[in-house]
Homo-oligomer: A and B are copies of this chain.
Amino acid sequence: MSIRENKLAEAVQREANWTSGHSCDHCPIGHYCLPLELPAEQAAVLSKIMYVSRALDAGQSLVHAGDPLDALYAVRAGCLKSVSVDENGNEQIIGFHLPSELIGLDAIYSGFHSADVKTVTIGKVCVFPYRPLLSLASRSPELMQNWLRIFSKNLLDQYAHGVDNTADQRLAGFLLRVSLRLPMRGELNDRFLLPMSRIDIARHLRLANGTLSRMIARLQDAGMIRVDDRLVEIVDFDKLKRAAGALANVTL
């Protein structure tokens, strides 16, 4: 089977898994997502537009680089990653997508996705077909403002990520940002479970695997965090903030 046929089969399989009949009204993370504080009538339209995927397997691709932008996806559960493969074939992780976050914003400019998006853990996404979403947004100032604010938040996070310089700054900043993005699922923000492997974190932070291990140990020794496997506890928030880059105070 050629790559193209493979991709096609995959896409067909994926499509077969979508289910409708859900709604944003009772979604536990709707308050952090697109439908935030939408007037009832518009929320109903949004729910009608939207449909939900069946569970995505770990490692499954949601979109491929170059795919046309058909829809924006919101993470309903689990964790996904945007991945770009360079010349030498090694993956660089542009970013992670945690529950309630939107996938595909980067594709709006050109109309095509710029990177692969794969699941990190099993999960579900809500699908917002792009055209209907756009047309609803043009009738709903509230939805438009939510959209703009989400965009702005994404940009801010990227700024902070791009500014962080040293390895420990990057790790500290990353942990702080994740700790503020995960609570949206209802978890405590000083104790959370990282959904992704060390390898993925290292690829995201532009660090070698080993360096990341050492940096985690260093922050732990410095009394900022306590780590047990993927469970992270932030012991000293202020210290961690000071260890992070210049934008840590602003973004958080």
Contact = CB atoms under 8 A, between A and B. Distances in A.
Interface of A: 65, 82, 84-87, 92, 94-95, 105-109, 114-115, 134-135, 137-138, 141, 144-145, 147-149, 151-156, 158-159, 161-163, 165, 206, 242, 245-247, 250-251
By CB atoms of chain B within 10 A, which of A105, A107, A154 has the most? A154
| Identical chains bound together, number | 2
Of listed A106, A147, A165, residue having the most chain B CB within 10 A: A106
10 contacts: A92-B165, A94-B162, A94-B163, A106-B152, A106-B159, A108-B151, A108-B152, A114-B251, A137-B144, A158-B159
B152 A105 contact: yes
Contacts of A135: 141
Contacts of A149: 108-109
Contact of A155 (B105, B148, B163): B105
A212 to B, nearest CB: 14
A83 B87 CA distance: 32
A152 B92 CA distance: 20
A205 to B, nearest CB: 10
Given A94-B162, A106-B152, A106-B156, 10 more contacts: A82-B159, A85-B246, A86-B245, A114-B159, A114-B247, A115-B247, A135-B141, A144-B144, A154-B155, A161-B162
Given A85-B246, A148-B147, A246-B84, A206 B109 contact: no
A141 B251 CA distance: 30
Nearest to A95: B159
A138 B143 CA distance: 10
A33 to B, nearest CB: 15
A153 B154 CA distance: 12
Nearest to A156: B106
Contact of A144 (B138, B159, B165, B206): B138
Contact of A114 (B85, B148, B156): B156
A250 B92 CA distance: 14
User: Which 3 pairs across A and B sit closest by C-beta, in order of nearness?
Assistant: A86-B246, A109-B152, A138-B141
Nearest to A162: B162
A251 B152 CA distance: 19
B158 A206 contact: no
